[in-house]
């Protein structure tokens, strides 16, 4: 049987650079890797099923795109492969309606929101003038389970008719109507942050929601602007979701309140800033992968101790 430490499945062409960097860093730490894509999915599935190939750990960046990757994942789960971001945890965490209620219960600040049922479940909805006034103008319309790159999100809605039109677009999905939260301006920068939870550590960066550009957040920034809550908030989200790797968006408002805006993104866009103007800073990508490497080494030691 061929055995590799980490299997990584992906289909997005822009993941190539991330996977190449990942393999380079993990190889330096003695961790073996194996890529799974459309080119070898059937062969890998057969080999895994027939016990000719095995992965001790698995990172799946493709199962949300193609069910055949999910089918391979289910086989691996039966083989005692350790998954980073287990499927059932992801399914729960990416439902914005679930997270909205759980965040409130856990004491996290979220925008005022109204959850409306899927169009296919209830064609008619009732929204009072009072509810709409609380949302303010403009407000945001988000499908609760359609995720990635702002797909299906309307950021500048003004009318009820827009709500009625949008909920037909993803007719099987619940929708979140959300007040628009405006960030404080800190030295000409919007106090909008993307925080990665990367294998037991929160890593925060400046992220402009209008330009989609990243900037490294320094320790001096954190101290000067009192930003430690970014890390405590994200750790709490990790505890609620049981995910190993995700990102969230958190805004600091003029009233110095931290508000979680985009709850959980489990398939982080890991294009590198060295190749894409709106990519993740390379040092941040390196840190994320280094954390993954440390996590695998830690798990390997535990596995060895358990067997020995």
Question: Where does residue 208 rank: exposed (0-12), middle (13-18), buried (19+ CB within 10 A)?
Answer: middle
Distance of CA 192 to the CA centre of its chain: 16
- Domain architecture of the chain: domains with CATH: 2-84 (3.40.50.2300), 86-109+181-265 (3.30.470.20), 112-179 (3.30.1490.20)
Residue in this structure with the two tokens 């960097």, named with its chain if needed: 21
Given a contact cutoff of 8 angstroms between Cβ atoms, the answer to whether 288 and 196 are in contact is yes
pLDDT at 112: 92
pLDDT, position 89: 97
151-162 burial code (b ≥16 CB/10 A, e <16):
ebbbeebeeeeb
Are 173 and 159 in contact by the 8 Å Cβ rule? The answer is no
Taking the C-alpha atoms of residue 242 and residue 244, their distance in angstroms, rounded to an integer, is 7
Contact 75, 87 (CB under 8 A): no
What is the predicted pLDDT for the residue at 274? 97
- Name the token pair of 252: 């600091």
How are beta strands 154-157 and 192-198 bridged, if at all?
unpaired
- pLDDT (tens place) for every residue of the chain, 308 residues total: 899 999 999 999 999 999 999 999 999 999 999 999 999 999 999 999 999 999 999 999 999 999 999 999 999 999 989 999 999 999 999 988 889 999 999 999 999 988 888 888 877 887 777 877 888 888 888 888 765 555 568 887 888 888 888 888 888 888 889 999 999 999 999 999 999 999 999 999 999 999 999 999 999 999 999 999 999 999 999 999 999 999 999 999 999 999 999 899 999 999 999 999 999 999 999 999 999 999 999 999 988 777 65
214 near 194, Cβ under 8 Å?
yes
pLDDT for 165 equals: 85
- Please name which of 34, 31, 88 lies closest in space to residue 298, comparing C-alpha atoms: 31
């Amino acid at each position: 049987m061929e055995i590799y430490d980490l299997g990584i499945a992906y289909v997005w062409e822009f993941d190539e650079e991330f996977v190449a960097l990942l393999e380079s860093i993990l190889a330096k730490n003695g961790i073996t890797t194996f890529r799974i894509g459309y080119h070898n999915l059937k062969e890998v599935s057969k080999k895994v099923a027939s016990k000719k190939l095995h992965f001790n750990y698995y990172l799946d960046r493709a199962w949300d795109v193609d069910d055949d990757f999910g089918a391979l994942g289910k086989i691996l789960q039966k083989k005692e492969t350790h998954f980073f971001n287990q499927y059932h945890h992801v399914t729960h965490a990416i439902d914005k309606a679930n997270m909205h209620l759980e965040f409130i219960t856990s004491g996290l600040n979220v925008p005022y929101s109204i959850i409306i049922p899927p169009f296919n479940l209830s064609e008619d909805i009732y929204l009072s003038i009072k509810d709409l006034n609380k949302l303010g103008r403009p407000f945001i319309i988000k499908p609760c389970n359609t995720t990635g790159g702002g797909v299906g999100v309307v950021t500048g809605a003004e009318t009820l008719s827009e709500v009625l039109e949008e909920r037909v677009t993803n007719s099987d999905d619940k929708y979140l109507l959300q007040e628009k939260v405006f960030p404080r301006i800190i030295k000409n920068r919007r106090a909008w942050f993307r925080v990665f939870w990367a294998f037991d550590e929160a890593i925060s960066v400046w992220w402009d929601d209008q330009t989609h550009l990243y900037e490294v957040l320094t320790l001096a920034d954190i101290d000067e602007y009192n930003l430690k809550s970014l890390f405590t908030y994200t750790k709490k989200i990790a505890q609620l979701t049981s995910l190993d790797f995700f990102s969230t968006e958190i805004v600091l408002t003029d009233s110095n309140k931290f508000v979680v805006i985009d709850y959980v993104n489990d398939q982080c866009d890991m294009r590198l800033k060295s190749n894409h103007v709106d990519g993740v800073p390379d040092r941040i990508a390196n840190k994320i992968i280094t954390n993954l490497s440390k996590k695998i080494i830690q798990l390997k030691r535990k596995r060895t101790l358990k067997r020995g």
